[in-house]
Structure 1
């Protein structure tokens, strides 16, 4: 069963009635909504909610303002879409008011229409870049080996026989045979057919560390 992606909205509005109206509108439209009364509360909720959209009044009754809050949060999450509420959105937008690029302005006089708010959110989302997927972390094929096993594998990669390795390390040939067998097992080469596990293990070492001096 595929679960639909639910977009999360952080609503920041200092007037309780307006905040409740916005949250109720968006919740009924299928958004996951969290409300905050000011920038301090919004900042505290931001990490826990990881919103896709910030819907904030510009004048929050205290500093930081909605614009300052949006600038700070988009610095932390560049993919965050921003919608500003204002009594005079056209004037604010035309004034070159600082704020994140791509922010959408909505008149508070139009908030009685849920479609206006939802359309503004959709427009803001279209201007943002989704967060980049986490970088793939390369795992060495030799990560399963101990330091001692890698030292032995280095000698194998030089083309040394078990007898030569035993002489170099001051141990018995039998002990080296057991150590090499365990190396092959950890590299999942012991059961391989058609190829020499010693050759394959050497190739893995050389690919990781380069030519052996």
Structure 2
């Protein structure tokens, strides 16, 4: 049985009664609200809940303001929809000029029912910028041959060149040459201050998780 998608709303409001009212409204309308009193609490809650919507008062009593908070959080999550609340008229609050594109402004004087807040949230979600598609980063090991990957796996185990030679039935000198070529392909031999064997092992473990 599929689980319905519950949209998460981060509610940032310095007045406890208003914050509780908004969270209660949203919970009864099927949202999953998380309340925060200021930008510091909101930042922590954002990291913990990954919200779909930021519903924030513009004046939080302390800095950062709601607009500054929204700008910061949408920089981290461009898909985040934003709804600004304020007791001031829109022109005075400056919501039309400040904050991320697509943000929706609601006067607290107009919050007479849950419908007002939900409609603003739906409008903001419709305007939210979807995350840009990202191309997968090429593997740093993409330039290695299958044989070199096999040798690197043994290096990542912490084996010496002599141990690798015995395992693969070859000479230590041949393994030394193979390891040297691996370092060259990974561009790890140019910095004398670092250990290329350790760095190569780290690249392997980052790619595969563990050495076989």
TM value normalised by structure 2: 0.63
- Listed as ranges, the gaps of 5+ residues in structure 1 are 151-169, 172-213
Aligned residues: 153
Tell me the residue number matched to 1:107.
107
- Given that residues 90 and 96 in structure 2 are in contact (C-alpha distance below 8 angstroms), is that contact kept between their aligned partners in structure 1? no
- Take 2:115 and 2:104, find their aligned partners in 1: how far apart are those partners? 14
Between 1:129-138 and 1:26-35, the stretch displaced more is 129-138
Tell me the residue number matched to 1:6.
6
State the SS of the aligned residue for 1:45: helix
Tell me the residue number matched to 2:129.
129
Tell me the residue number matched to 1:52.
52
State the SS of the aligned residue for 2:84: strand
- Take 1:95 and 1:30, find their aligned partners in 2: how far apart are those partners? 27
Tell me the residue number matched to 1:182.
none
The 5-angstrom pairing of residues 58-207 of structure 1 reads 58-92=58-92, 96-132=96-132, 135-136=135-136, 145-147=146-148
- Take 2:11 and 2:136, find their aligned partners in 1: how far apart are those partners? 34
- Given that residues 89 and 105 in structure 1 are in contact (C-alpha distance below 8 angstroms), is that contact kept between their aligned partners in structure 2? no
- Take 2:101 and 2:149, find their aligned partners in 1: how far apart are those partners? 55
How far does the alpha carbon of each residue in 1:162-192 deviate from its partner, in whole angstroms, 9 at most, with x for none? xxxxxxxx97xxxxxxxxxxxxxxxxxxxxx
Runs of 4+ in 1 over 3 A off after TM superposition: 92-97, 132-146
Instruction: Flag the structure with larger Rg.
Output: 1
TM value normalised by structure 1: 0.63
**What is the CA-CA distance between 1:141 and the residue it aligns to?**
9.9
State the SS of the aligned residue for 1:63: coil
Q: CA-atom RMSD, angstroms?
A: 2.9
